[in-house]
Chains A and B, each alone.
Chain A
Amino acid sequence: MEPLQRITAPTVDVLTALLENDGPVWGLLVVKETGRPTGTVYPILERLEERGWVESSWDDDPDHRGPRRRLYAFTPDGRAAAQDLRRSWVRTERPSRATGATGPARATRVGTVVTA
């Protein structure tokens, strides 16, 4: 697994969304849960996969005919690294873009470890 060269708030949001789900997660669900645009989330997922943090697979649910959904799940090393990374970010509660209601916490900046 390779370290991430750029760690941005959307990256931490994506990692958080993946951490908060057990097992493989549909890529578009990560979009929904982060409230980030698809044009932000898709490249992050691809970069995480290239660097060995996550791995993707096809959803073979027979209920979904036609094109298959792409699912993402942490590699063992990726999960540990994501947990470490998330601890090093300050997090604040903000309204979600997707729902307009109070949604998932979104990372704000990288920096020192802050504990509540």
Chain B
Amino acid sequence: MSLHEHVLALAVAWSPADQRTTRREQWAADVRDAHELGLRPGQVARGALLTTIVRRTARRPGDGPVAPVIVVAAAVVSVLVAVAFEMRLGGHFGSGQWGWYGFIAVDALLGSVLPALAVAAVLVVRGTRRAAVTAPVTALLVLAAVVVGTAPVWLGPTLVPGDWILPTAGLAAFLLCTAGPGARWAAIVLPTLLSVVTHQFAGRITVTWLPFVDHLPALLALVVGTLLVLSSPRQEASVA
């Protein structure tokens, strides 16, 4: 299979089940015949994938203005900026340049609190559970982000919680606030598993890159959580 055929297959696979058959045939014909119109097959395949993403995340009445993929992408960027911040300023505990409290505050904001707020926003708007469930779950998640993010201050730099705690809590929030089969809960172990694997190899990794490695469970949790939301049955819209 060529690259654009793989892209097309991904676009079809991610389409809603009731649209897959139509889209598969329609887009396969368009890719095959694109040259007739002076278009490139790859251009058609990329458009098909974008269509799937756009249509999956499109606003519906009652959904509000939050597009999950965009918001979670912002959360991923925030985590990566936190990684860069730590790599630039002396690893997990910062350097004297920012001062201890300043470093922890910025790091907690970028690496924990902002991503948790993004997750909360997605779940409040797109979660499929009632507000009675979603509101306390998301509030607890944000509180956990503040606590875990600032833990070095009140626990001491050597007793920081494992980097899998907050990602696991985030995934639990995704699972609690969205509907779907119980088997989805198997995903809850993913951040922990990744954390175990990365710790096994920590000794072989250059110290400079440790902040990135430590944030991998968070990035994984954001991606998995987004997929859970997108694959979760939607709430019935109140307006047609």
Contact = CB atoms under 8 A, between A and B. Distances in A.
Interface in A19-41: 27-29, 31-32, 37-41
A71 B29 CA distance: 11
B22 to A, nearest CB: 7
A38 B47 contact: yes
Interface in B9-61: 22, 24-26, 28-30, 32-34, 37-39, 43-44, 46-51, 54-55, 58
Contact of A29 (B29, B37, B49): B37
B120 to A, nearest CB: 26
A38 to B, nearest CB: 2
B25 A67 contact: yes
Contact of A46 (B24, B43, B55): B55
Given A37-B47, A39-B54, A27 B38 contact: no
A28 B37 contact: yes
Interface string A61-96: 000101111100000000000000000000000000
Contacts of B1: none
Among B28, B29, B33, residue most surrounded by chain A Cβ atoms (within 10 Å): B29
Given A27-B26, A28-B44, A42 B39 contact: no
Contact of B25 (A37, A41, A68, A99): A68
Contacts of B3: none
Interface residue tally on A, bucketed by range: 20 to 34
B151 to A, nearest CB: 43
A28 B50 CA distance: 15
Interface string B103-114: 000000000000
Interface residues of B, number: 25
A45 B46 CA distance: 17
Interface string B55-90: 100100000000000000000000000000000000
Contacts of B33: 28, 64, 69
B51 A38 contact: yes
B240 interface: yes
Given A28-B37, A32-B39, A42 B32 contact: no
Among A46, A59, A66, A67, residue most surrounded by chain B Cβ atoms (within 10 Å): A67
A37 B43 contact: yes
Nearest to A38: B47
29 contacts: A27-B26, A28-B37, A28-B44, A31-B37, A31-B39, A31-B47, A32-B38, A32-B39, A37-B43, A38-B30, A39-B46, A39-B48, A39-B50, A39-B51, A42-B47, A43-B51, A43-B58, A46-B55, A67-B24, A67-B25, A67-B26, A67-B29, A68-B29, A69-B26, A69-B30, A70-B25, A70-B26, A70-B29, A99-B38
Given A39-B50, A98-B39, 12 more contacts: A27-B30, A31-B39, A32-B39, A37-B47, A38-B30, A39-B47, A39-B51, A42-B51, A46-B51, A69-B30, A69-B33, A70-B22
Interface of A: 2, 27-29, 31-32, 37-43, 46-47, 58-59, 64, 66-70, 98-99
